[in-house]
C-alpha cells in the first residue's frame, strides 16, 4: 500500500518534472545596466534599459568630487548611452552590489564624448575588476580601430565570502584621465564553463578555478549573419565569419530554419541562440573525386595567454545519423579525431558544444581553427562548424591585458621578461600537480575500504521507472536512481581494488566507450568492469541508458549489471563476467576452435530469446538497436547473452501508433536500405 502511494507520487513527478525543467528559461538574477553620468534612462530596442548611475540603489558611483559628467553635443535627439561619460582624474571606484554570487558577464562601453576639458581619445588608463586587471594602459584611439565606440566583454567571478560586490577601479595614468560610458553586469547561468577542460595538444584535463576571469576575444556565427544582442537571450553579439575564413572558396554556407534546431538536455539558448546552430560552413564541392582539404579560420590574439575555445556544432547537413564524421584542429594540432557528431547528439539538427583550452605561446599571435575530413574512405567527406567562441583567460598575475598587473606590484616584474614567463609556467605546472595530489589524497580519505554492506549485492528490480519516453527517464535518472535501487552503487576505491588499479594486463577489450577490465569483487565474484574514458563526460547518455535498461531486466539471455560507479567524473559499469567473451571472437579473427553447428544454433536461439524478452517480456518494450556479434557474449557454457544497451530505446506501448524512425547503430550492421542512404 505504502509502496503504491510512493509510486504514484513518483509517477506524478515524472509527468510534471520534465516540463518544468525544459520549459523554464534562464532569467538572470542580476541585470545591471548603468548609464554612467547619464541623466535619463536610455532604452535599447532589445529590452535593455540603461539607467543613470545616480538612480540605481545597488550602485555606488565614485564620489562626486572626482567626477565630471560631460553632456553630449546634440542633446536634441533622443539620448543614447554615448551622450555622457564619467571622467576620473584620480583612482576612482564603482561598486555594484549583486544579488547573486558566481560568474557574471561584465560589459564596458567606451565612447570618447566630445568636450572642451578632456582629450578622452588619447587618455591612458587602467581598469581593474575584483582584483583582475581588465585593461592596462588602455587608450581609446589605439584600440578602437576608427570606430566611434568600443565594447569590451568580460566574465568576472563575484565571490560569496565577504560581500557580493563587484568593484571596478579606474586608474588614470600620469596626469591623464579615465572615462566610462556604460557598464553592464548580467549573471551567468551556473556551469556555463566546465570545471575542467581538455587542452590542445591533448593532455590531462586542465582545472578551471572560479577565480579565472575571461575576456571575449571572438564570438562568431559561422555561415550566418551578424546576431545582435536582440537575438541573444544574454545580450551577446555574434559576428559573421567572413573576415576570418582563410579559404572562402573551400567553404559553402548552409542553413536551416532556426525553429528546427533542437536543444537536448544540457544545452540551451543561453549557451548559444538557435540562429547560431541554424547556420554553418560546410566543405564546398571542389571538382575533385575525393575531397581532401580543411576549412580554416585564423584569429589574431594576444600572445602569452591561454584561450578557451568553444566549438558549436549542429548537424544540419546530413540525411541520416552517423554520416558526418570529421576532424578538428586547433593551431595545427588535432582536437577531435574522426569525430562522429551524431554519437553525441543522437539526433540531427541537435545543438552540441565542446570546449578546449590552448596556449598561444610567445612568438605566435593567432588561433588557427581547421575542420576537415578524416581518412575514412567509405564515407562521404564533409566537415562543418556552426559557431565559435574564443575566450582569453586571465593569467597567474590576474591580468587579462599584458603580463604585468597594474596594481599588483610583483617583485618578479622587475626581472627580465623571460623569468616572468618561466615563473608563470612553473607556477601553473606546480599548481596542477598540487591539485592532482590533493584530489588523490581526498579520494583516499573519503573512501575507506570495505564501506559497503556485503549482503546488499542486488536490490529488487523497480517495476515502473518513468513513462514510455526514454529521454524523460534518463533526465530524471540521477535523482531517482538511488531511490529505486538501480543496481548496486560501487565506490571507486572498491572498483580500483577489484581491477588492481586498472591493471593493463586485465584489459579484456577496448571499445568506443573506453576499456573493459576483468576484476574480482571483495566477495569473490568475477566481474567485467567497463570504464568510460576517465574525466571525459562523453557518452553520459549511453551510460545512463544502459544502467536504466539493465537494472530493470533479468533474463538468462541478457548480461546482467552487477553495479555501477558515477564518482569523480568516472562512468564505470560492472557486469557479470562472461568467460568466453564476444561471439565475434569465435567466428573470425582468432584461433579459437570453431563452434559446432549445435552451439551456433543454440547461440542464435539464445540471443533471439533475449531479444524476444526485450520486446515482449519487460514492463516496457525495449528496442536494442545495436545487435551485432560483438554485443552477444558467451559464458563458460557457451550460453549467449545480449549486451550493450547504450543505444537502446523504450519502444511504443501496443496501443501507441507512432514509432521513432531515427537510425541508430554501428556502420556495417545497419539495415542494407539504410546503408544505401548513408553512402548517398
Ligand X SMILES: *[C@@H]1O[C@H](CO)[C@@H](O)[C@H](O)[C@H]1NC(C)=O
Q: Which is nearer to ligand X, 372 or 387 (CB)?
A: 372
Nearest to 337 by CA among 285, 383, 286: 383
Residues identified as active-site: 626
Of 58-66, 364-372, 455-463, 587-595, the segment contacting ligand X by CB under 6 A is 364-372
Binding footprint of ligand X, residue count (CB under 6 A): 20
For residues 198-257, which are near ligand X according to CB under 6 A?
A: 225, 227, 230-231
User: Can residue 372 be called a binding residue for ligand X (CB under 6 A)?
Assistant: yes
| Closest by Cα among 420, 305, 422 to 360 | 305
What does the per-residue mask of binding to ligand X show for 154-173, with x meaning CB under 6 A?
A: -------------------x
Cell of 574: 560492472
Binding pattern for the stretch 412-451 against ligand X, x by CB under 6 A and - elsewhere:
----------------------------------------
Q: Which residue has the cell 554615448?
A: 82
Which range touches ligand X (CB under 6 A), out of 62-70, 72-80, 363-371, 429-437? 363-371
CA–CA distance, 5 with 1 (Å, rounded to integer): 7
Give backbone dihedrals phi and psi of 178, rounded to 5 degrees, phi first: -120, 155
Cα–Cα nearest to 235, from 393, 31, 55? 31
H or E element in which residue 508 lies: strand 507-510
The minimum distance between CB 202 and ligand X, in angstroms, equals 14
Q: Which long-range contacts (CB under 8 A, 24 or more apart) does 668-674 make?
A: 669/626, 669/627, 669/628, 674/320
Nearer to ligand X, 3 or 285 (CB): 285
Closer residue to ligand X, CB minimum distance, 356 or 638? 356
Q: How far is the CB of 174 from ligand X (least distance, A)?
A: 3
Phi, psi of 59 (to 5 degrees): -110, 125
Interface with ligand X in residues 328-357 (CB under 6 A)? 329, 331-332
Q: Between 24 and 288, whose beta carbon lies closer to ligand X?
A: 288
List the interface residues with ligand X, window 246-285 (CB under 6 A): 275
Bond prior to 201 in cis (omega within 30° of 0): yes
CB of 294 to ligand X, least distance (A): 4
- DSSP lists the bridge partners of residue 366 as 300
Residue 127 or residue 475: which is nearer to ligand X going by CB? 127
The answer to the question of whether 530 is labelled as a binding residue is: yes
Which grid cell is 265?
538536455
What is the nearest approach in angstroms of ligand X to the Cβ of residue 649? 34
Q: Which is nearer to ligand X, 34 or 227 (CB)?
A: 227
C-beta atoms surrounding 552 within 10 Å: 21
Grid cell in block for residue 93: 571606484
Q: Rule CB under 6 A: say whether 364 interacts with ligand X.
A: yes
What's the sign of the alpha-carbon dihedral 377, 378, 384, 388?
A: negative
Nearest Cα to 310, choosing from 389, 195, 203, 247? 389
User: CB of residue 134 vs ligand X: minimum separation in angstroms?
Assistant: 17
- Minimum distance, C-beta of residue 276 to ligand X, in the bound complex (Å): 9
Q: How many Å apart are CA 228 and CA 215, to the nearest integer?
A: 18
Q: Within 74-133, which residues bind ligand X (CB under 6 A)?
A: none
Q: Which of 171, 370, 386, 648 binds ligand X (CB under 6 A)?
A: 370
The nearer residue to ligand X, 139 or 629, going by C-beta atoms, is: 139
Using N-to-C axis directions, what is the helix angle for 477-484 and 540-551, rounded to 10°?
30
**What CA dihedral angle connects 410, 414, 418 and 423, to 10 degrees?**
-30
Kind and range of the H or E run holding 16:
helix 2-23
25 binds ligand X (CB under 6 A): no
CB of 47 to ligand X, least distance (A): 10
Using the rule CB under 6 A, which residue among 71, 256, 368, 424 binds ligand X? 368
Contact 563, 489 (CB under 8 A): yes
Interaction site with ligand X (CB under 6 A): 173-174, 225, 227, 230-231, 275, 287, 292-294, 329, 331-332, 364, 366, 368, 370, 372, 409
Per the annotation, binding residues are 530
Per the annotation, binding residues for ATP are 530
Amino acid at each position: 500500500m505504502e509502496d503504491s502511494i510512493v509510486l504514484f507520487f513518483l509517477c506524478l513527478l515524472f509527468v510534471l518534472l520534465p516540463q518544468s525543467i525544459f520549459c523554464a528559461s534562464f532569467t538572470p538574477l542580476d541585470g545591471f545596466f548603468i548609464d554612467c553620468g547619464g541623466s535619463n534612462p536610455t532604452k535599447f530596442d532589445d529590452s535593455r534599459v540603461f539607467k543613470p548611475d545616480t538612480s540605481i540603489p545597488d550602485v555606488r558611483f565614485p564620489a562626486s568630487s572626482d567626477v565630471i559628467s560631460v553632456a553630449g553635443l546634440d542633446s536634441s535627439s533622443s539620448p543614447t548611452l554615448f551622450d555622457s561619460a564619467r571622467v576620473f582624474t584620480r583612482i576612482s571606484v564603482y561598486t555594484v552590489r549583486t544579488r547573486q554570487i558566481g560568474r557574471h558577464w561584465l560589459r564596458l562601453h567606451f565612447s570618447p564624448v566630445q568636450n572642451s576639458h578632456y582629450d578622452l581619445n588619447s587618455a591612458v588608463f587602467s581598469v581593474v575588476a575584483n582584483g583582475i586587471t581588465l585593461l592596462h594602459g588602455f587608450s581609446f584611439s589605439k584600440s578602437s580601430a576608427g570606430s566611434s565606440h568600443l565594447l569590451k566583454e568580460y566574465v568576472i567571478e563575484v565571490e560569496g565570502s565577504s560581500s557580493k560586490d563587484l568593484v571596478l577601479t579606474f586608474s588614470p595614468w600620469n596626469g591623464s584621465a579615465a572615462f566610462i560610458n556604460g557598464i553592464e553586469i548580467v549573471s551567468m547561468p551556473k556551469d556555463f564553463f566546465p570545471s575542467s577542460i581538455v587542452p590542445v595538444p591533448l593532455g590531462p584535463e586542465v582545472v578551471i578555478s572560479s577565480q579565472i576571469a575571461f575576456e571575449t576575444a571572438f564570438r562568431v556565427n559561422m555561415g550566418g549573419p551578424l546576431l545582435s544582442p536582440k537575438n541573444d537571450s544574454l545580450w551577446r553579439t555574434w559576428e559573421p565569419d567572413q573576415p576570418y575564413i582563410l579559404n572562402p572558396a573551400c567553404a559553402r554556407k548552409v542553413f536551416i530554419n532556426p525553429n528546427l534546431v533542437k536543444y537536448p538536455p544540457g544545452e540551451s539558448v543561453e549557451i548559444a541562440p538557435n540562429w547560431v546552430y541554424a547556420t554553418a560552413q560546410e566543405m564546398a564541392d571542389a571538382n575533385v573525386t575525393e575531397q581532401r582539404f580543411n576549412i580554416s579560420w585564423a584569429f589574431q590574439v594576444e600572445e602569452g595567454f591561454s584561450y578557451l575555445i568553444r566549438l558549436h556544432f549542429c548537424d544540419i547537413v546530413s540525411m541520416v545519423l552517423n554520416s558526418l564524421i570529421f576532424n578538428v584542429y586547433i593551431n595545427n594540432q588535432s582536437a577531435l579525431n574522426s569525430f562522429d557528431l551524431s554519437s553525441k547528439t543522437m539526433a540531427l539538427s541537435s545543438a552540441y558544444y565542446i570546449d578546449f583550452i590552448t596556449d598561444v605561446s610567445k612568438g605566435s599571435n593567432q588561433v588557427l581553427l581547421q575542420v576537415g575530413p578524416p581518412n575514412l574512405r567509405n564515407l562521404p567527406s564533409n566537415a562543418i562548424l556552426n559557431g565559435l567562441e574564443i575566450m582569453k583567460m586571465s593569467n597567474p598575475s590576474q591580468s587579462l591585458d599584458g603580463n604585468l598587473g597594474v596594481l599588483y606590484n610583483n617583485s618578479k616584474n622587475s626581472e627580465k621578461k623571460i623569468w616572468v614567463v618561466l615563473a608563470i609556467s612553473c607556477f601553473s605546472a606546480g599548481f596542477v600537480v598540487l591539485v592532482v595530489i590533493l584530489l588523490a589524497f581526498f579520494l583516499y580519505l573519503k573512501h575507506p575500504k570495505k564501506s559497503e554492506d556485503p549482503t546488499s549485492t542486488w536490490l529488487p528490480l523497480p517495476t515502473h521507472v518513468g513513462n514510455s519516453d526514454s529521454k524523460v527517464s534518463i533526465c530524471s535518472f540521477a535523482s531517482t536512481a538511488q531511490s529505486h535501487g538501480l543496481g548496486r552503487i560501487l565506490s571507486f576505491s572498491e572498483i580500483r581494488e577489484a581491477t588492481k588499479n586498472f591493471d593493463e594486463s586485465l584489459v579484456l577489450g577496448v571499445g568506443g566507450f573506453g576499456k573493459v577490465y576483468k576484476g574480482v569483487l571483495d566477495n569473490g565474484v568475477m566481474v567485467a568492469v567497463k570504464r568510460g574514458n576517465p574525466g571525459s563526460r562523453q557518452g553520459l547518455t549511453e551510460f545512463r541508458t544502459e544502467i536504466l535498461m539493465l537494472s530493470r531486466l533479468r533474463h538468462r539471455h541478457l548480461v546482467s549489471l552487477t553495479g555501477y560507479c558515477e564518482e569523480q567524473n568516472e562512468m564505470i559499469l560492472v557486469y557479470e563476467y562472461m568467460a568466453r567473451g564476444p561471439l565475434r571472437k569465435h567466428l573470425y579473427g582468432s584461433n579459437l576452435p570453431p563452434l559446432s553447428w549445435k552451439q551456433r544454433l543454440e547461440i542464435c536461439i539464445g540471443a533471439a530469446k533475449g531479444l524476444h524478452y526485450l520486446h515482449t517480456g519487460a514492463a516496457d518494450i525495449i528496442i536494442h538497436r545495436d545487435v551485432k556479434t560483438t554485443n552477444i557474449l558467451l559464458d563458460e557454457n557457451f550460453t549467449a547473452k545480449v549486451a550493450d544497451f547504450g543505444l537502446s530505446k523504450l519502444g511504443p506501448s501496443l496501443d501507441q501508433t507512432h514509432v521513432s524512425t531515427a537510425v541508430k547503430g554501428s556502420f556495417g550492421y545497419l539495415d542494407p536500405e539504410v546503408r544505401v542512404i548513408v553512402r548517398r
